[in-house]
Amino acid sequence: MMNRNIILLATLLFIVFIGVYANHFYNGFHFDDSHTIVDNVYIRNIKNIPAFFFHPEMFSASPAHWGLRPMVTTTLAIDYWLGKGLNPFYFHLSTFIWYGLLCVMLYFVYKQLLSNAIKTPDVKYLSLFGVAWYALHTANAETINYIISRSDVLSTFFIVSSFFIYIRWPHLRNKFLYIIPAFIGVFAKETVLVLLIILFFYIVLFEKGLSLRQLLTKEHFPQIFKTIGQLFPLLIVVGITQIYTLSKINAIEGISNPLGPYVLTQSYVWLRYFIAFFLPLNLSADTDWTVIYNPFDERIIIGVSFCIALIWSIFKASEKTATKPIAFGLIWFAAALLPTSLAPFAEVTNDHRMFFPFIGLMLSVVMAMALCLEKYSSVWKKNVFSRSCVIFIALFIVGLNAYGVYQRNKIWKDEETLWLDVTVKSPLNGRGLMNYGLSQMAKGNYSVAEEYFNKASVYLPYYSTLYINIGILKSALNSPELAEENFKKAISLDPGAFAPYVYYAQFLKDTHRLVEAQQMGEKALAINSSSLFLLNVLTEVYQQLELWNELKETAKKTLVLLPGDAKALSSLAFAEDKMSFKRGDVSKETKAKTAADYLNQSLYYYNSKDYNSCIEACRQALKIKPDYADAYSNMGAAYNQLKQWDKGADACRKALSINPDHPLAKGNLEWALKQREM
């Protein structure tokens, strides 16, 4: 009867689980999704999957974020392939499936751990309640909605898998099967080493039956070394694999805070996470918390006091069999927070960091509730009203969290809704203000965008990306001088970065300063040769400069990244066609015989900056071939160089009347018209 009830309740939970997350499947890409997914050309070809395990540059389009998380990149490539493009539904569905599988496994983990402490048929119901609370916990919506945070979901899934195999089938430990999921998990995120801590204390508390106080006595010291010995194969495999992944990157992005103050600040952050488990009310995609430098700040004192109380609770709970799951869950909570607490990241706190620790905290809370219910079982089990109250409280907790998830899904809908929420919840976060400004600039609300960029500059006076965005805005507002000033400031603030050069190159191209655009673009190319955006900018620059060999090489680079790309194939064919003419180039002394000969002469004169002779050669070509679009295009380019904008525009229009898709004529016509209006 009980098993049937569990199956019915689990089925109901599954239906609610899908219903609560139903409004998140089409939510957009956000934040780091831009460079790891949207702009990452490598995930667009599923044949790249083996290479993901060796090439850190394939993880991101941004060199600052290159790393080796091939399990994440592999799943993203599969999503792209299934969705035939950047269809957010498939990316969210993939994360959701992994999350669902994790929750299923957690039921059996909780059931086994609770059964070690209490012998009651209610363990199954308690375990299912814990899973329901975790699956629908409001804070977890931050991880599930943020696609690139799949790294947290995957690494947690494989850690729990290894842990489950270890505790469920102890007779298979000598075959080391439990190590396999952990090995895979290392390729998702650098948190799998925490599994060693979790397993160590599981063995100590549940298999050896020791309390932490006993463990620290001299007579039990050998147990420490014996337990470490049991886990040594796991340490070797995971450790070596982790060393391999870390050796593939130069530095971990975002580690910029001083270690001492950062670690002290984490004590207060831990308290924030602990409170958020029970009251997830102020979640933010990007908080405005900063490092606290004063060690006597009241927040540090409160945080350190909390950590001391946490340690005391762990020691106290470890002394009795009935409370060991509480101690173990708190150890899990603390251990899972260690990686982000000891590495001084720029972000002091992130809500997706709660995803893995909350598994342990959930175990502690459910076990504490179980002991409370067991203590008063004679009252509530015999009284219908009391029993109804217990069920109501359980449903209220889960239901309230489910409602929170549904509301957070709405916040994550698009860039505007997400970053507006950040500006409200984290008003001192310059990056949040900037990103909300970006969402407004994308909609054409330039005045609002400028307002938020100005607010952001108060908190981010030295943030290169902010000045790139201000430059783009000023360009859209037809203020080229201010735009250029901001692009140059962005470069000066971060001269080794890729983004300032490429966006400055785009600006220079759009203002027809092609030689300078070429220089900036090639600087960006030296930093990052796998940016499709940059290659597209350089393609247009080389076409307009009529640098056919460079155009050809750029098209080839694009085709390496995106085999079969129509635009790159067209550019390659166009360059090779022009180069075939160039192989028959004639100097000004060579007598021209055909229209093509005169066109080659015009190119010679143009590259020699003899624009009048270029125009004359084009006229001679047109006498032989009146519908020669290339001749009109070259003539228009030469007139533009002479700043004879009306004649340049007229020649380009004639070229386009013959060939409406002529790439050079279009660009030169736009240039002529824009300059004529100024």
pLDDT tens column, 259-291: 999 999 999 999 999 999 999 999 999 999 999
> Residue by residue, what is the 3-state secondary structure of 433-481?
HHHHHHHHHHCCCHHHHHHHHHHHHHHCCCCHHHHHHHHHHHHHCCCHH
pLDDT for the residue numbered 251:
64
Which whole number is the average pLDDT over 519-532? 92
pLDDT band at residue 580 under the 50/70/90 scheme: low
pLDDT band at residue 677 under the 50/70/90 scheme: confident
pLDDT tens digit sequence for 39-67 = 999 999 999 999 999 999 999 999 888 99
As a whole-number percent, the residues of the chain with pLDDT over 70 amount to 96
Q: What's the CATH fold of domain 595-677?
A: 1.25.40
pLDDT band at residue 381 under the 50/70/90 scheme: low
106 Cβ contact list (under 8 Å, min separation 6): 130, 131, 134, 160, 359
State the virtual CA torsion across 471, 475, 477, 480 in degrees, nearest 10.
Answer: 100
Q: Which residue has the higher pLDDT, 69 or 253?
A: 69
Supply the pTM of this predicted model. Answer: 0.85
Q: Do 462-582 and 595-677 come out as alike in CATH topology?
A: yes
Copy the structure tokens of residue 440: 């407004």
Which letter does DSSP use for residue 148 in this model?
Answer: G
As a whole-number percent, the residues of the chain with pLDDT over 90 amount to 73
Which whole number is the average pLDDT over 421-441? 96
pLDDT band at residue 546 under the 50/70/90 scheme: confident
Copy the structure tokens of residue 347: 């972000």
pLDDT tens digit sequence for 593-623 = 788 888 888 887 887 778 888 898 899 999 9
Q: Where are the alpha helices (DSSP H) in 59-121?
A: 70-83, 88-115
Q: Which of 442, 384, 439, 389 is nearest to 414 (CA)?
A: 439
Q: Which of 111, 105, 103 is nearest to 127 (CA)?
A: 111
Cα four-point dihedral sign 12, 13, 19, 25: negative
CA-atom Rg of the chain in angstroms? 31
Copy the structure tokens of residue 300: 């540090």
Residue that has been written with the tokens 């002991």 in this structure: 371
280 Cβ contact list (under 8 Å, min separation 6): 137, 138, 139, 401, 404
pLDDT of 589 strictly over 60: no
Architecture of the domain delimited by 462-582 = Alpha Horseshoe (1.25)
The domain segmentation of the chain, as residue ranges, is 2-30+87-408, 462-582, 595-677
pLDDT of 425 strictly over 90: yes
Q: Which of 332, 367, 355 is nearest to 130 (CA)?
A: 367
